[in-house]
Amino acid sequence: MSAYFLEWLSLLGRWLHLVAGIAWIGSSFYFIWLDNHLLVPTDPALVRRGVAGELWSVHGGGFYNSHKYRVAPETLPPVLHWFYWEAYTTFLSGFFLLCLLYYGRAEVYLIDPTVAALSKPTAIGIGVAFLVGGWLVYDGLCRSPLGRSGLALSAVLTVLLSAAAWGLCHLFSGRGAYMEFGAMLGTIMVANVFFVIIPGQRELVRAKQEGRQPDPKHGIAGKLRSTHNTYFTLPVLFVMISHHYAMTYGARENWLVLIAICVAGVSLRLYFVARHKAQDRNGRTSPLPAALGLLTLAGVAVALMPQPPGTTAASPSNGSFARIQAIVAQRCTSCHSASPTQAGFTAAPNGLLLDTAERILAHTEQMRQQIATRAMPLGNITGITEEERNEMLTWIDRGAPH
């Protein structure tokens, strides 16, 4: 019953996380787009009122006219809409899922003894340290003199985030390392909202209410952190779906795969953000960021291409089907059966059943990918050996004789 209850908590938590994430990313993308499409007002009255840019748009059967002030309007409106609960709800639901699955069941999803022999408390402590430490280092860099140079800051962040990806992939299971990396970026994003963007906006409002001249530095800082958030978005979204693709986190050099795909995501986002301001360049946008992103993804796809059958290291055993069934029964069916015996599982992952000879033979290709990438068993919880992996791969490469 407890496993069934946890499944429902996971389902509802994921649903909430997805809905809140769509709301947050949607509003973030929209305002970045809006900011980059603003034009200097043609109406002198708007300029005198402090409007820095305006935009006309049509949607849903109606026309909209958006204005952005250089600092603040002369008089605050009676109703002012804020955007922050989307970010907070996304973070809280995501952290709930992280605690429920990756920390609560660290021995399954986070720890892989073949990567690092960590105890559960140690693994959780390291995971939390990356979340907190990632924000402290990032925020410190942004507030330092380095933060005044966008190019220098980007270069340093790229190096540090690459080092974090390497470290996580050498501490945790591939799946757990990817999720920790995404959670670290997500924590930075929501901390930008909580500690910089919203406090700055509250100060602007407070200054107007108290009759003081608002300090434009708060708006500048908020715009900078919002821009950083939009570049983090595609890497975070990749991590959210990565656990469906063992070829990425299960790769031998999975940290390089993570870095490369994140670089591709940032490059693609950079291209689209630049496209938003094409009017500043006579409608032209350099295709180089998009080309870099696509070429990087193509390079990863080629690098991860599976070996052709027959290239797997030869198995010392005769590779009989009876031997393969014995390995599957010992290492796989505790989860992949009609009635799983592994604690915490109420049904076979992805509905994949391997508890009969017919079912094993029907899923040899799926088995090969999961075995070759070391994605299964999760956290190697059943203790499969390299020799057993090679036996199964050799048997599959021989055409799965039975």
Cα gap 330→337, rounded to integer Å:
12
Closest CA to 256 of 306, 181, 312: 181
Query: Which pair of tokens denotes residue 183?
Result: 């959670």
Query: Which pair of tokens denotes residue 325?
Result: 């069934």
pLDDT attached to residue 310: 56
pLDDT attached to residue 311: 54
Q: Collapsing DSSP states into helix, strand and coil, what is residue 117?
A: coil
Query: Which pair of tokens denotes residue 137?
Result: 């280092």
258, 181 Cβ separation under 8 angstroms: yes
Query: Which pair of tokens denotes residue 54?
Result: 């305006």
178 beta partners: none
Cα gap 308→396, rounded to integer Å:
11
Q: How many helices (H) and strands (E) does the chain have?
A: 16, 2
39, 279 Cβ separation under 8 angstroms: yes
pLDDT (tens place) for every residue of the chain, 402 residues total: 477 888 899 999 999 999 999 999 999 999 999 999 999 999 999 999 999 999 999 999 999 999 999 999 999 999 999 999 999 999 999 999 999 999 999 988 999 888 999 999 999 999 999 999 999 999 999 999 998 898 999 999 999 999 999 999 999 999 999 999 999 999 999 999 999 999 999 999 999 999 999 998 998 899 999 999 999 999 999 999 998 888 899 888 999 999 999 999 999 999 999 998 877 778 889 999 999 999 999 999 999 987 665 555 554 555 688 898 888 888 888 889 888 888 777 778 778 888 888 888 888 888 888 888 777 887 778 888 888 888 888 898 888 888
pLDDT attached to residue 402: 82
pLDDT attached to residue 364: 86
Cα gap 130→77, rounded to integer Å:
42
| DSSP codes of every residue in 336-384 | SSSS--STT-SS-GGG---SSHHHHHHTHHHHHHHHHTT--SGGGTT--
- The distance of Cα 329 from the centroid of its chain, to the nearest Å, equals 34
Residue with tokens 């699955």: 101
Cα gap 157→11, rounded to integer Å:
34
